[in-house]
C-alpha cells in the first residue's frame, strides 16, 4: 500500500522529492501517494494526522512531536534565507508592534520568527504566502512577512524591507535558521521509517548530483515563477542540512522549539 506523501510546490521541495517520486533512486519497495499543498495547509493536515510523510514548518513541529518524528534529510535550514518583513513604504522599526501584518499562516516558522523578534505585535492576519505581496501593495495590511520566492521579487514590486527576520535570528542565536523539515508518522513500523529516511536522503543527493534532471517537475509546480528565481530558490534553501541535519542542525532545531514553547 502506498505511503501518503505531502510537500509544497515550491522549487526546493519539488527539487528534493522528484527523484524518489519518479523512481530515479532505489525506493526499497516503497511507493507514494503524492499530494502537493501550501505549507500551512500541510501543517494543518499533519495536525489532523492525515499524512504518513510530510513537509511541515518547524513551528508546527513543536505541536506534533508526539505523533511525528523528524527525518534527518529534507530540511530547510541555513543562513541568509529567513523570512522578510516588508511594507509599501518606509516604516521605522519602533512602529512595527502597532502594524497590521500579513503572515503566511499561524503555524509557519515565519510567524514564530516575527513574534520572537517583535513580541508585542498583535494584529496578525493569515494569508496564503503567495498573496502577501499583493495584500501589502493594495493596503489590505500595513506590512507582510514574505517567504519562499518573495525574498527575490519584493524589490521589483516596489516593496520596502523593514526587517530581515532570519538575520535577527542569526544575530541573536549564532545558529542557522530552522524553517521546515520532513516528518514521518511515529506509528509506522520502524523498518518503514528507516526506509523512508534512506530513500529521502538518496533523493536529495541525486538531485544535487543531477540538478537538471527534475526541472520539468519543478517548472510544472512553480506556477509562473521565472526560471532564474527557481534556481536561486533551490540554491538558497537546499544545502548541507537538506542532506543531513547533523549535530549543528539538530541543535538549532531544538533551540528553536524551546523558543516556540516559551511564547
- Positions marked active-site: 148
Residue pair 84/165 in contact (Cβ under 8 Å)? The answer is yes
- Kind of pairing, strands 84-87 and 76-78? unpaired
Q: Which residue has the cell 534553501?
A: 237
Are 257 and 181 in contact, with CB atoms under 8 Å apart? no
Q: DSSP assignment of the chain, as one string? A: -PEEEEE-SSHHHHHHHHHHHTTSS--TT--EEEEE--HHHHHHHHHTT--SEEEEEHHHHTTTTTTEEE-SSS-EEESS---EEEESS---GGGGGGSEEEES-TTSHHHHHHHHH-TT--EEEE--GGGHHHHHHTTSSSEEEE-TTHHHHTTTTT-EEEEEHHHHHHHHHSS-EEEEEEEEETTS-HHHHHHHHHHHHHHHHHHHHSTTTTHHHHHHHSTT--HHHHHHHHHHH-SHHHH--HHHHHHHHHHHHHHHHT-
CA atoms within 13 A on the CB side of 9: 16
Q: How far is CA 227 from the centre of its chain?
A: 20
Amino acid at each position: 500500500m502506498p505511503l501518503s506523501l505531502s510537500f509544497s510546490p515550491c522549487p526546493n521541495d519539488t527539487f528534493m522529492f522528484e527523484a524518489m517520486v519518479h523512481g530515479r533512486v532505489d525506493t526499497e519497495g516503497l511507493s507514494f501517494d503524492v499530494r502537493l499543498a501550501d505549507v500551512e495547509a500541510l501543517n494543518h493536515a499533519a495536525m489532523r494526522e492525515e499524512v504518513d510523510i510530510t513537509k511541515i514548518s518547524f513551528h508546527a513541529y513543536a505541536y506534533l512531536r508526539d505523533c511525528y518524528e523528524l527525518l534527518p534529510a529534507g530540511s530547510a535550514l541555513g543562513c541568509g534565507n529567513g523570512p522578510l518583513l516588508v511594507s509599501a513604504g518606509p516604516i521605522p522599526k519602533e512602529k512595527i508592534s502597532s502594524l497590521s501584518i500579513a503572515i503566511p499562516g499561524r503555524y509557519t516558522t515565519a510567524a514564530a520568527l516575527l513574534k520572537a523578534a517583535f513580541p508585542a505585535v498583535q494584529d496578525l492576519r493569515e494569508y496564503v504566502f503567495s498573496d502577501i505581496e499583493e495584500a501589502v501593495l493594495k493596503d489590505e495590511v500595513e506590512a507582510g512577512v514574505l517567504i519562499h520566492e518573495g525574498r527575490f521579487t519584493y524589490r521589483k514590486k516596489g516593496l520596502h524591507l523593514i526587517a530581515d527576520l532570519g538575520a535577527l535570528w542569526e544575530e541573536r542565536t549564532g545558529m542557522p535558521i530552522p524553517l521546515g523539515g520532513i516528518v514521518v508518522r511515529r506509528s509506522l513500523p520502524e523498518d518503514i521509517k528507516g526506509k523512508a529516511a534512506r530513500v529521502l536522503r538518496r533523493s536529495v543527493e541525486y538531485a544535487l548530483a543531477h540538478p537538471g534532471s527534475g526541472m520539468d517537475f519543478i517548472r510544472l509546480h512553480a506556477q509562473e515563477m521565472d526560471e532564474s528565481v527557481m534556481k536561486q530558490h533551490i540554491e538558497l534553501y537546499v544545502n548541507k542540512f537538506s542532506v543531513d541535519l547533523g549535530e549543528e542542525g539538530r541543535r538549532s532545531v531544538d533551540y528553536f522549539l524551546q523558543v516556540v514553547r516559551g511564547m
